[in-house]
Amino acid sequence: MKVSKRKRVSDEKLIKKYARGDGSCFEELVNRNYERIFQFIYRMLGDYEKSRDLCQEVFVRVFEKADRFNAKYRFSTWLYTIAKNLVINEIRDNERHKKSFQITINEHIQQQRIRDSRNYDINSPQYIVINRELMALLSRAMMRLNENERMVLVLKEYEGLSYDEIAAIMETASGTIKSWVYRAKKELVKYMKDAEAF
């Protein structure tokens, strides 16, 4: 009974209830939001363990600062803003991160295999392996984007947020967000073309 009733309650109400001392909202909020925040962070960092740690950090902050939640914003906007700040800190702290994603000569072998993938049936093991390589290439391409471009692209393409919402999270005008998304995609297209995987 309690669960079905809670499904109708918005995240904003749940966090407010939590701030007023109802600890039982904790589980529901985690259930609803954990996975998407994790995915967002993972797509930004490309590292499972780091993403897991950082995602937990995001939620620790959310629950610690539950009483500071501003009701005029949506809960998801607030959540993404906290995640964004932590991700940006992490990226800046770890400059080495970018280096490890540099393209090298050995990748050409991988690219050749991706080009060959057109000959395979989509269900064949070869295709699955090559698709994994394509995804590895994509993840490297993503890491080459600057953090703002990468972030808006992830928020738009994967999280499905509106330009206005992203603008609120990024604290920038929505026109700027549009041009960042466009530029990010063009960059990716260029990278994939250079790798002849496109």
Partner 1 sequence: MDCENVKSHLQAYLHRELSQELTSAVESHILVCKTCKAETEELKLMSKILRQWKVPPPDIEQAKNTLAVALSLKRSVPVVEEKVDIEPVEKEPAEAISIPERLLKSNFVRLLIAASIVVFISLGLLLMFNTTRIEHPAKFEIKDFMPAVAAVTNVRDLANLKVAFTEFCSQEYAQKTKNVNKIITYEFVNTILAFPKMEQQKDDVGTLLIFADSIPEEELSSLRVSLFPRAGQVQEDIWFTVELRSQNLLQEDVSTLSTKHAILAESSGNYYDALQIYQKEIELGKDRATAALRSAFIFMKFGNIGKAKRMIGVARMEESTPIVNKLTDEMARRINQAAVLKKQWIELKLQYGENDYTANELKEILDLQMKASDYQNASITLGDLIPQLDAREQGWYLLQQAWCYKEVGELGKARVVLNSLLDSTTNDKNLEIAARFELFLITKAQEKFDESISLLTSLIKEPVVKENKRLLEMLIFSLGYTFIYDIGDVERGKWFLNSSPEISSLMLIDLIDRINNRPDPEKIPDYTVPRNSAAQRKANPDEV
Residues that bind partner 1 (CB under 8 A): 16, 18-24, 26-27, 30-31, 34-35, 38-39, 42-43, 48-49, 51-53, 55-57, 59-60, 63-64, 67-71, 96, 99-102, 104-107, 110, 125-126, 129, 131, 134-136, 138-139, 153, 156-158, 162-163, 178-179, 181-182, 185-186, 188-189, 192, 198
Contact 197, 114 (CB under 8 A): yes
**Between 147 and 178, CB nearer to partner 1:** 178
H helices present in 46-106, as ranges: 48-64, 75-93, 96-99
Cβ at position 68, least distance to partner 1 in Å: 5
The two structure tokens encoding residue 145: 């984007």
Distances in Å between the alpha carbon of 197 and those of 8, 62, 133, 151, 194? 45, 41, 10, 23, 8
Cβ at position 157, least distance to partner 1 in Å: 5
| Residue 15 Cα to chain centre, angstroms | 22
Contact 60, 12 (CB under 8 A): no
**Between 85 and 101, CB nearer to partner 1:** 101
Cβ at position 8, least distance to partner 1 in Å: 20
